[in-house]
């Protein structure tokens, strides 16, 4: 893991088109701004993990053949 120190108003770049800027620091909270192309999804990690779990459950579930046939009628 790369660890960087930044002050309010300073940024880091990820690749050529993602910029992360430190907006504010209050106590143990840091407010960041993320400037990324619309095609790049940006999630808080806890939300990302939930999405991954739901996708995994959906991929593992079985859909009755009759339900699939109804989709193509």
| Distance, CA of 70 to CA of 73 (rounded, Å) | 5
Q: Looking up tokens 């880091």, which residue turns up?
A: 12
The residue segments making up the domain with residue 31 are 11-71
For residue 51, what are its two tokens? 């999405």
Length of the chain: 73
* pLDDT (tens place) for every residue of the chain, 73 residues total: 999 999 999 999 999 999 999 999 999 999 999 999 999 999 999 999 999 999 999 888 887 888 778 888 7
Q: For residue 52, what pLDDT is reported?
A: 96
35 lies in a domain? yes
6 lies in a domain? no
For residue 53, what are its two tokens? 């779990």
5 lies in a domain? no
For residue 58, what are its two tokens? 């959906």
- Count the alpha carbons within 13 Å of 22 in the hemisphere toward its beta carbon: 14
3 lies in a domain? no
32 lies in a domain? yes
25 lies in a domain? yes
Q: For residue 59, what pLDDT is reported?
A: 87
1 lies in a domain? no
Q: For residue 67, what pLDDT is reported?
A: 78
Domains in the chain, number: 1
């Amino acid at each position: 893991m790369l660890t960087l120190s930044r002050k309010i108003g300073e940024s880091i770049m990820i690749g050529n088109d993602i910029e992360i800027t430190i907006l504010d620091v209050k106590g143990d909270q840091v407010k960041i701004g993320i400037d990324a192309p619309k095609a790049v999804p940006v999630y808080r990690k806890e939300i990302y993990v939930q999405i991954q779990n739901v996708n995994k459950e959906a991929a593992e579930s079985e859909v009755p053949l009759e339900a699939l046939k109804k989709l193509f009628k």
